[in-house]
A and B are shown apart, each in its own frame.
Chain A
Amino acid sequence: MTPITQKLSSIRKLDRKTTAQILRVSAHMLSLYALALLLLDYSRNNLGADPVREILLRTGEPALVLLILSLAVTPLTLLFGWKQLHPLRRIFGLYAFLYVALHLLTFIWLDYGLNLAYILDGILEQNFVLVGFAAFVLLLPLAITSNKWSQRKLGKKWKTLHKLVYIIILLALIHFWWLVKNVYYMPFLYSAIVTVLLLLRWQPVKQKVLRFQHRPRNRQSAIRNP
């Protein structure tokens, strides 16, 4: 390597590091946006006549969006070849868990006043809650094992375990479909996005996408490095 290319590559490396940093910070900010806004509205007494429901909705929806974002990382890396997005999967996933935990806490505490009999009725007699609760229970092991240590320790099993996210997202969508009253735009929208994201992971589709991607990129790199 000539000194110049060495220098260039170190700049590029530095760049990559900063982009990673910027991406990470943006992911945190994006994830915290809904919570910050919720706290702001709470402090301004701006949550409407039924703040409990407002908090339920405003923790539930971000939870779903973040689950979807987490699920979107891998297909996006695939589509744009942008490996640097990869760490965002964990960030979005953990924030999804945070919002679901707040969502559940709102349910059992603010809504059901920690009354066990009411909570049991609320979970067991309402299928949409039961399904949401199942999603929460399945999210627990994923959140607990989301660190590097568990990943090393579990080896191959880690990947299998984290496939639970497919079941979780399906349960979350069913939860949403089941709770809305005859107006299905939002559950439809989220289901459509999830369908696309899942399709992109399906081998036949994935192969097509990869083949399509490689053609133009190979030509470009061929021109750059003859």
Chain B
Amino acid sequence: MLIKKRTGIEIPSSEITPQHLYLSRRQFMAGAALATTAGLLAACGAGGAPEEANTAAVNSGNGGTAVSATTDELGDPLNTYDEITNYNNYYEFNTTKDGPARLAKDFPTTPWQVEVGGMVKNPKTYAMEDLLKFDQEERIYRLRCVEAWSMVIPWVGFPLAKLLNEVEPTADAKYVRFETVYDPDNMPGQRGRMFPWPYVEGLTVEEAMQDLTILSTGLYGETLLPQNGAPIRLVVPWKYGFKSIKAIVKIELVDYMPTSLWMESAPTEYGFYANVNPEVNHPRWSQATERRIGELGRRPTLLFNGYAEQVAHLYPDPKYDTNLKPRGS
């Protein structure tokens, strides 16, 4: 069953979408019509259920279907399915934004296994089917790219904590190391020697256990497309997008700070923590503002991407990072 949640904060029950609004792709047309009617009724003040109106299924262009809300918890509209699936940073395919959607079309995601091991009591290799058995929830998150653009995305997935609790990290485990598949036959970008493939990322165990941290398997109620990191990817909404590693095949608990691909290729530019912070510039560009895809003009970037309430306590100082200097220092 799909539990709808906008963020990791406690959600009022009115925001949990009633079962009947979960629509399969085929039911969508009828569902959209219903939802529209509900919306109109509410707008006309002719009764109807307001919570149904604002949790209506929305059409998002090509293929996107049921979501529980049309905005994030700050009231900003979701990006369309089209935008989310056609504007990707995924250097394993190529370095353009529209390239991954094209080049990843035939990327094989079945069968798929994720090996979870390292400093855990119960190491296990999960088949994708096993991972889909975790309750899949909707999480509407802002995604802030280190390049100073952002989107609002209705992910579907489950908290990483649930998986970690199953394998039980030992007391010595301090960090989680993630690895993307190495498949140069199907990932043309991995054939180049520009980067030390495969992609690696890491979190502290505390960050990994935070309820906001999810493994995503879908978006807009649809199975994840390859350009978005199918079949399974990390989403850590208070960190720059590059932390949210895609097409994961390996999750390892370790006692050292993993060196991510970006830390290795540009150590002066990308730190381990990479928390969204308008006060800490990238060495070559400002992080004070961001361009929300689909909007003109800029909006100010929020500390921890607007999730400070949930995650600030994880850090001794919001400017905490290994490599990046705060402004004016």
Contact = CB atoms under 8 A, between A and B. Distances in A.
Contact of B293 (A49, A178, A181): A49
Given A121-B288, A126-B286, A48 B86 contact: yes
Interface stretch (A3-11, A112-120, A194-202): A112-120
B27 interface: no
Contacts of B266: 182
A110 B265 CA distance: 32
Contacts of A183: 95, 194
B44 interface: no
B289 A118 contact: yes
Interface string B272-286: 000000000100111
Contacts of B293: 49-50
B308 to A, nearest CB: 21
B285 A126 contact: yes
Contacts of A111: 291, 297-298
A77 interface: no
A130 to B, nearest CB: 11
B284 A126 contact: yes
Nearest to A49: B87
* Most chain B CB neighbours (cut-off 10 Å) among A49, A179, A182: A49
Contact of B298 (A115, A128, A129): A115
Nearest to B98: A48
B296 A113 contact: yes
Nearest to A183: B95
B195 interface: yes
Given A125-B281, A181-B147, A49 B286 contact: no
A133 to B, nearest CB: 14
B297 A115 contact: yes
Given A50-B291, A122-B289, A183-B194, A128 B284 contact: yes
B264 to A, nearest CB: 11
Interface string B286-329: 10110101101110000000000000000000000000000100
A52 interface: yes
A26 to B, nearest CB: 30
Contacts of B281: 125
A128 B284 CA distance: 7
A118 B298 contact: yes
Contacts of A110: 296-297
Contacts of A114: 297
B97 A178 contact: no
B284 A179 contact: yes
B97 A182 contact: no
A125 B194 CA distance: 28
Nearest to A112: B298
A49 B294 contact: yes
A125 B278 CA distance: 12
Interface of B: 82-83, 86-87, 95, 97-98, 147, 149, 194-195, 265-266, 281, 284-286, 288-289, 291, 293-294, 296-298, 327
17 contacts: A48-B86, A48-B87, A48-B97, A49-B82, A49-B86, A49-B87, A49-B294, A50-B97, A50-B291, A111-B297, A112-B289, A113-B296, A115-B298, A121-B289, A125-B285, A128-B285, A183-B95
Interface of A: 48-50, 52-53, 110-115, 118, 121-122, 125-129, 178-179, 181-183
Given A49-B294, A111-B297, 17 more contacts: A49-B83, A49-B86, A49-B97, A50-B97, A50-B291, A53-B149, A113-B296, A113-B297, A113-B298, A121-B286, A122-B286, A122-B289, A125-B285, A129-B285, A178-B284, A181-B147, A182-B194
List the 10 closest pairs (A to B, CB-CB), nearest first. Answer: A113-B297, A49-B87, A125-B286, A49-B83, A126-B285, A183-B95, A121-B288, A118-B289, A118-B298, A126-B286
